[in-house]
Structure 1
Amino acid sequence: MDAPSNPNVSTPPDPTTTVKDAHMYEAYVVDTAAGALVGLVALLSVLKTASWQRRTASAAPDLRIVWTFLLFYAGDVANVLVLVTVATGLYCLTIHKGLQQVPAFLPLNPQEDKHFVTYVVCAFALKAVQLLHQLMVQLSVDVFFIDWEKPRTAASRTAAGAAHQKRDLLPVSIWRTYFVANEWNELQTVRKIRPTFQILAVLFFLKALGFWEYTVREPWPPSECPQQEGPPSYSPTVRFGLAATLWLGIGLVQVIFTVFYEICVEDKIRHFVDLCSMSNISVLLLAQRCFGYYIHGRSVHGHADTNMEEMNNNLRREAESLCGQRGLLPSTEIQTFQVALSTRLRSQYDRIRESFATRYGPARLTDPGSVSRWEQNIRAYHAMNFFLASIIDHVHPDMDYYVRDKLALERIMGVEFLEPIEKSIFYNDKAHSFSDALFYGHESTLLSFDAFFFCVVDLACRNFVLAGLLTYVQQTIFRKIRSFFGRKNLIYKSQLDARFLK
């Protein structure tokens, strides 16, 4: 006869059932979080599209606006899926792999793995769309180098000026412009991290230190269970969580190191601004039709095309505060600005730029019409240089500008509340936002894309080393594309000779 059951004694829960319920709860949370955030970021994409419409001076909605909204929305959804998938993978890695007392496979239902991998693949595809969109914008930026140097007499170029009394004007050297353009060309693919070191560091943790053992379905590493027969079975969710967390974590450490390195040792972005000042060259960058960035490089000494002695004297006078400050406004030091141009100014800019002859390579003087094309480009270059310099000097009242600070809400939302109708607006920009026209300003997008590329390849072939190798190839291809077409765009927009740009 069976003993009567005691209703006051509770039966211990089945560990397998507990883990299974936890997995069902996780899938529900992932779907709910992704759905809610994807709906919310639609408002952010609408805001970005409205800002883009104002910056391009688009009068009425058209297919371009719809297409731009879809591109912005793809990038925002990609960020949401990156957040959700990385958080889920990290949760499975830290929580489930800690349940050493539960002899259960993770997850119990293989269908849940497929569901999660679908999220990862979608995040990777949308990240690729976001990266290509940013790449297209960077490869179409209008760039022009404004040379402030004025012709000098032969007498004024000597140390004393008394030994030579010739009054012939000496031509302005173009080498300063080429030097600044070459520095900008080299900055186009500079990143805040070292991509090769990133791959090697991730592979070091995964393979050399044996972190890959924590990606198996069993709650114990293979090294602690040598009697297991056959190859270990991996959990795609945990495998992704480990690889993505390592990649993003090491990337974040590199970014933090770069911040301290730039403060203590060398900051290439700020050094470029200093180079512009020493070269007497300003840079205008227009990422959108009526919005861009301006680097004020006008020399406080009046001239930069000089000899070593005079250059050293100028540097000494500036170090001892015996001359003016480098800022655009008197008694200020701010040299970088975000610019919102009026449609009248942009129309005049376009009229001068239309006179540029299309030239992506060096013109051959032996070709028919090459001489006239070359002269046309020279005239157009000088016309553009004179026009933009006169704009900065407030020569044209109908195309004037004023300088102001951005409101905190404007900086947060990434939109300008004031529309430049009669006058253009120069916004003080101490953060050097012109780096948005470079790889440097989009490190978060590049880092997350590389991470998901690495993880997707690994999920497909179950080989971390092969994933690292293909990630290196992918990074090299994108860097070559950005460098090659960025150089072509720089040559055409600035009207500089390709033979002098490396």
Structure 2
Amino acid sequence: MAKSRQSILSSPYDDQPIGLPWLYYGIVNHESPQTTQQKIPNVVLDSTGLSGSLRLPFVLGVYHLNGSFLGYQNLTTQFQLCSTDSLTASNWDRVARDYTNTCLLNLYNLVSQNYDTYFYELFLAQPLGQLYPVPIRISNYRTVSGLQINRNPSMIDWSNSQLFRRFFLIDTASGIVNGATTIVRFPSSISITIFKASDVGKITLPIVDITYTEREISAISETDKSIFSTTPISFSVAYVQDYSVIKQVLMYTFVIAIAVGLVYAFYTTRLWSSRNLGPYDSIDIRFIFRLLVNVCGALGPIMGSYLFVVVVCFFIFFKIQSVLFIYIPYNPSDMSLVTMAVAGITVAEFVYIAKLMIVQCTTHVFFIDWERSKGYVVGSGNDETTAMISPIHQRVHVGFTLVALLALLEGLGWRYLATSYAGFSDLSIDTPNPLLLVAVDSLLWMLLIIVQVVFQAIYSRFHRNKLLQYIDILSLSNISLFVFDSQCHGYYVHGRSVHSFADTNMDELNNFLRKEENDMVPRRGLHDTNQQAFEIFVTRTMRTAFDKIFDQSIVLQQEAQRLNNMVNRLTINDIKGGSFKDPIKPAAEPQIKEYHQVNRFLRSFIDQNLKEIPYIIRKKTYFEQFFAAPDPSEGNVFFPNDSGYSRILLYGMEMHLMFAYTYLFAFVDTLTNSPAKAAIVVWVVHFIICSIRRHFGEINMSKKTLLDWKFLV
């Protein structure tokens, strides 16, 4: 009838028939769904309520089965069949608040309440009181030919959809047979989607997607827990916008970041190969493996920083807005992409950390003894003195960080800053958004790290710096530290004492220090300078000479003896009086001989008495500060670097550890929705790393320094 009168109809809305029920869109002018989707109601959304609506102004028009209009009512909790507390249920329409309410509904309780059947029309109330119609999309609607054109509806694409005006909530009338209700129909899913328009604070026409389900009343039982009598119900509200421009920008910057990381990894690997491999050595599996590990080491921090900036920007801009101009990504694939990125960064960092751990636990470490004899014979092995620093020394205390993080997230409720509510004041309990949760977790991690680093910088500046104190201890002990962490790269700490002897009493030691204070002795640094710590690059000639002198057979013999002693301590014959017999025995003569040979060689090298392997001391160029590798033609080069040797400690990989722990915590928190579980996982991983580094580091020190492991403190 309406179609036959199309030419004489007039209406505030192009598709609304006059004097007839408006059942669906396209009844008069065949307006396309895309055109309907682009309409912009005169509504401004403001999360503070100062410049627009604080709540979504939805209004329901209610009709009886016979078509009688029963009036208008505000949409509050009518769409929520799941029971929940009234405050949570009534806050679903708060602006910029993604909302989900799901449950398992017992249909027996629903049927027993004898709901009347009504038809509804949904409107959006505009500021001057006009009602703007909101379309309904029934996902399991069938055409006359049986096609389900609304199946798997898209939130942002209405094309080829059939839109409706009237709908029902509970239908017990259409299934009446012989005066008895045999079928009940109800919405198992209702979702409201709010689309952002191009103007700030404006939205395009919302859409409501409804999926209906029906059950035979005779088969519904109060005690039946199957899906037939107890069915899942959901109601949700989602705010979406077109992210195509943002995604394009992120894609371009992502590709650039990846390219920079790959170029850096390849270049550093090439520098390593040019210094450590011979001219006739081809690219082998070792080069490829190092390249892959360096890619992880380069991409981990780069992508970690990139993701941190992206999620924190989304978090800040979303939270500070009043009039809405940005929504949080809604697509599950986008959320999965964030989770995958977090997992990828975590894996890349731990791969690189494993490589650094292997390097640190296999470094060549040697203590050069500069002490001269006082004229009496020292017992074999008694001249073996060492100065040690903890291999797990770090500026950031992981235990404190985790406790403080849990106090902030759970104690103060800052975890719920990750919920999809604009503003910082609402900390009501709700499911966090994965993107915002990564932002909150990583932001708090970084803030706690920065606080500790700043504190340690101030503390070490005005109280004590363990790394510099270690250099002082070496100087007082008349011992230098020589380290190779790769074939032709390492560190040197010059601890040669400027005094006659290091083995002295307290009075003489104080006199020595007083002379230093009054500039009555040469400076402690190498070649009478103030510089004591260096990063060194040596030639293959120097390393070959070192390897010839450093006899691995002595190392293997020493290790076998150490293992044999450990076995003996566990036998009954070595236990007396309830305690282990573990005397400090003198070192074997071959070991002492080997130690003195290496000691003489390195002393001669440092004193520049080996004319065939000289070295130069110079500062790094600006370019070398980033890539840290001089041209091999320069020969042996010493670069001044006060704290460079910290790279053989956990201190030196602290940046990678913090990235790994941050994103490991965020990943576990996102999967389990539990900061406590995430903290436990991080703590266990940290404990394992520290234990491995301490245990194998001590074994390596004992082997490579040619000192018995019992001398290591």
> Which among 40, 48, 51 is matched to residue 268 of structure 2?
48
Match for residue 11 of structure 2? 2
Q: Is 1:500 aligned with 2:509?
A: no
CA distance in 2, matches of 1:334, 1:24: 55
Q: Which amino acid aligns with 2:474?
A: C
CA distance in 2, matches of 1:336, 1:444: 22
Which deviations, in whole Å up to 9, do the C-alpha atoms of 1:244-282 show, x marking residues without a partner?
111012102211211111111110000111111110000
Q: Give RMSD over aligned pairs.
A: 3.0
Q: Structure 2 length as normaliser, TM-score?
A: 0.61
Which deviations, in whole Å up to 9, do the C-alpha atoms of 1:52-97 show, x marking residues without a partner?
1134244333221121111111221222321222122212221223
CA distance in 1, matches of 2:43, 2:275: 61
Q: Which amino acid aligns with 1:192?
A: R
Residues 617 and 640, structure 2, Cα contact 8 Å, conserved in 1: yes
Q: Which amino acid aligns with 2:605?
A: I
Q: How does 1:266-345 map to 2 (within 5 A)?
A: 266-330=464-528, 332-345=529-542
Match for residue 684 of structure 2? 473
> Which among 452, 459, 463 is matched to residue 670 of structure 2?
459
Match for residue 639 of structure 2? 427
CA distance in 2, matches of 1:172, 1:22: 81
State the secondary structure of the residue aligned to 1:447: helix
- The offset of 1:23, in angstroms, is 4.3
Larger Rg: 2
Match for residue 211 of structure 1? 414
- The offset of 1:174, in angstroms, is 6.0
Q: Kindly tell me: are residues 22 and 269 of structure 1, through their superposed partners in 2, closer, same or farther at Cα, counting changes over 3 Å?
A: farther
Q: Which amino acid aligns with 1:171?
A: V
State the secondary structure of the residue aligned to 1:301: coil
Task: Please identify, of 100-109 and 390-399, the stretch whose mean Cα deviation from structure 2 is larger.
Answer: 100-109
Task: Please identify, of 10-19 and 232-241, the stretch whose mean Cα deviation from structure 2 is larger.
Answer: 10-19
CA distance in 2, matches of 1:202, 1:35: 33
Residues 492 and 534, structure 2, Cα contact 8 Å, conserved in 1: yes
State the secondary structure of the residue aligned to 2:623: helix
Match for residue 238 of structure 1? 436
- The offset of 1:218, in angstroms, is 4.2
Match for residue 378 of structure 2? 171
> Which among 367, 372, 390 is matched to residue 604 of structure 2?
390
- The offset of 1:372, in angstroms, is 12
CA distance in 2, matches of 1:213, 1:97: 12
Match for residue 21 of structure 2? none
Residues 51 and 414, structure 1, Cα contact 8 Å, conserved in 2: no
Looking at secondary structure, tell me which structure has more strand per residue.
2
CA distance in 1, matches of 2:363, 2:566: 32
Q: Which amino acid aligns with 1:381?
A: Y
Match for residue 649 of structure 2? 438
State the secondary structure of the residue aligned to 1:326: coil
Match for residue 411 of structure 1? 625
CA distance in 2, matches of 1:177, 1:28: 63
CA distance in 2, matches of 1:366, 1:239: 50
Match for residue 112 of structure 1? 334
Residues 319 and 424, structure 2, Cα contact 8 Å, conserved in 1: no
- The offset of 1:36, in angstroms, is 2.2
Residues 248 and 448, structure 1, Cα contact 8 Å, conserved in 2: no
CA distance in 1, matches of 2:433, 2:295: 31
Looking at secondary structure, tell me which structure has more helix per residue.
1
Q: Kindly tell me: are residues 12 and 496 of structure 1, through their superposed partners in 2, closer, same or farther at Cα, counting changes over 3 Å?
A: farther
Match for residue 17 of structure 1? 195
Structure 2 unpaired stretches of 5+: 1-9, 15-38, 46-193, 197-238, 569-584
- The offset of 1:497, in angstroms, is 0.7
Q: Bigger relative contact order, structure 1 or 2, given CA contacts below 8 A and separation 6+?
A: 1
Match for residue 213 of structure 2? none
Which deviations, in whole Å up to 9, do the C-alpha atoms of 1:199-251 show, x marking residues without a partner?
111111111111011122344789676xxxxx723211111110011101210
Match for residue 379 of structure 1? 593
Residues 34 and 80, structure 1, Cα contact 8 Å, conserved in 2: no
CA distance in 2, matches of 1:103, 1:352: 70
Which deviations, in whole Å up to 9, do the C-alpha atoms of 1:337-388 show, x marking residues without a partner?
12222222211211122242313363768999xx999222121111111111
Q: Kindly tell me: are residues 171 and 96 of structure 1, through their superposed partners in 2, closer, same or farther at Cα, counting changes over 3 Å?
A: same
Q: Which amino acid aligns with 2:491?
A: Y
CA distance in 2, matches of 1:292, 1:457: 37
Residues 318 and 327, structure 2, Cα contact 8 Å, conserved in 1: no
CA distance in 2, matches of 1:363, 1:139: 18
Residues 321 and 422, structure 2, Cα contact 8 Å, conserved in 1: yes
Q: Kindly tell me: are residues 426 and 397 of structure 1, through their superposed partners in 2, closer, same or farther at Cα, counting changes over 3 Å?
A: same
CA distance in 2, matches of 1:367, 1:224: 59
CA distance in 2, matches of 1:199, 1:305: 45
Q: Structure 1 length as normaliser, TM-score?
A: 0.86
CA distance in 1, matches of 2:244, 2:358: 42
State the secondary structure of the residue aligned to 1:398: coil
> Which among 462, 468, 472 is matched to residue 264 of structure 1?
462
CA distance in 2, matches of 1:49, 1:278: 38
Residues 416 and 427, structure 2, Cα contact 8 Å, conserved in 1: no
CA distance in 2, matches of 1:195, 1:95: 30
Residues 345 and 660, structure 2, Cα contact 8 Å, conserved in 1: no
CA distance in 2, matches of 1:24, 1:441: 41
Q: Kindly tell me: are residues 95 and 22 of structure 1, through their superposed partners in 2, closer, same or farther at Cα, counting changes over 3 Å?
A: farther
- The offset of 1:409, in angstroms, is 1.9
State the secondary structure of the residue aligned to 2:471: helix
Q: Which amino acid aligns with 1:35?
A: V
Q: Percent identity?
A: 24
Q: Which amino acid aligns with 1:2?
A: S
Which deviations, in whole Å up to 9, do the C-alpha atoms of 1:114-149 show, x marking residues without a partner?
121111111111111121111111111110000001
- The offset of 1:474, in angstroms, is 1.2
Task: Please identify, of 347-356 and 10-19, the stretch whose mean Cα deviation from structure 2 is larger.
Answer: 10-19
Match for residue 120 of structure 2? none
CA distance in 1, matches of 2:291, 2:675: 36
> Which among 29, 38, 43 is matched to residue 258 of structure 2?
38
Residues 107 and 217, structure 1, Cα contact 8 Å, conserved in 2: no
Which deviations, in whole Å up to 9, do the C-alpha atoms of 1:7-66 show, x marking residues without a partner?
xx9755897322522545444443332222102221111221122113424433322112
Match for residue 401 of structure 1? 615
> Which among 348, 351, 374 is matched to residue 152 of structure 1?
374
CA distance in 2, matches of 1:175, 1:442: 35
CA distance in 2, matches of 1:221, 1:428: 48
CA distance in 2, matches of 1:31, 1:341: 42
CA distance in 1, matches of 2:384, 2:447: 40
State the secondary structure of the residue aligned to 1:152: coil
> Which among 194, 202, 223 is matched to residue 405 of structure 2?
202
Structure 1 unpaired stretches of 5+: 154-168, 226-230
CA distance in 1, matches of 2:693, 2:655: 17
State the secondary structure of the residue aligned to 1:321: coil
Q: Which amino acid aligns with 1:107?
A: P
